[in-house]
Copies of this chain bind each other. A is one copy, B any other.
Amino acid sequence: MTIRVAIAGARGRMGSTAAAAITEAPDMVFAGALDYKYDGWYINGGTLIEQPSGVRVYTSIAELAEAEKPDVLLDLTDPEAVFPNAQKAIALGIRPVIGTSGLTLEEIDHLKIMSEQKGLSCILAPNFSIGAVLMMKFAAQAAHYLGDVEIIEMHHDRKLDAPSGTAVKTADMISDVRTPHLQGHPDEQVNAYGARGADVQGMKIHSVRLPGLLAHQQVLLGGEGELLTIRHDSFDRKSFMPGVLLAVRESVSHHQFVNGLEQLI
């Protein structure tokens, strides 16, 4: 069976990479583009054109649904657009696969209820990197045995916020499973403000920002006489594509709300 995929945000950097990946996947079709403008234009090989050749752009999801019969709406826009898009999609029987962070807890709950009432999957995957998800899962599993954990995340110096969302999520996932305890020396003496990093769920997170860096994270788990390090390096947004394709494929065989790619791996 071929999965018909509509994409919201297909003109963006992430969206155009995803459009190419879906076009190349043998079991998928890029069936239509949802946009806030350019209604009736076409996307052809990554370029927006006026001639009717390629994949049509719609500004109305209802029209897109009727004309193109998509199974899935892959939404790579921003938190403001994502929530109304997903609501309408579910109502129209289209499975949302949402690749954006920033939804409020209320919005997430609302989509969960809609998804489960309708028996239609809705996948929330703010991080499509399978490698990053594996890092987080492994770290959580390892913390069962090696309960002292610190996280070093390293990004280019154009990144505005610290710590990264992935680092905080990693700490949360570890915190869910490890036995709570105090780390470090109780009488620790910090002579320069901030040297020991940020405390998140009892773990320390250190955020490095340098030109030249891309996106890297390592989780360090220490035990008596040993250290386990799980490190993920993202060099290119192509690394997200296997996760995008996985989420799209899984969406048609699930019938409920799925919060995080880690639920599918």
Contact = CB atoms under 8 A, between A and B. Distances in A.
B212 A184 contact: no
Given A160-B187, A192-B199, A206-B195, A233 B239 contact: no
A189 interface: yes
Interface in A105-160: 129-131, 134-135, 138, 141-142, 145-146, 148-150, 152, 154, 157-160
Nearest to A161: B189
A103 to B, nearest CB: 17
A210 B233 contact: no
A66 interface: no
A205 interface: yes
A130 B141 CA distance: 12
Contact of A131 (B190, B191, B226): B226
Given A224-B236, A226-B232, A229-B229, 4 more contacts: A131-B145, A158-B185, A194-B197, A227-B233
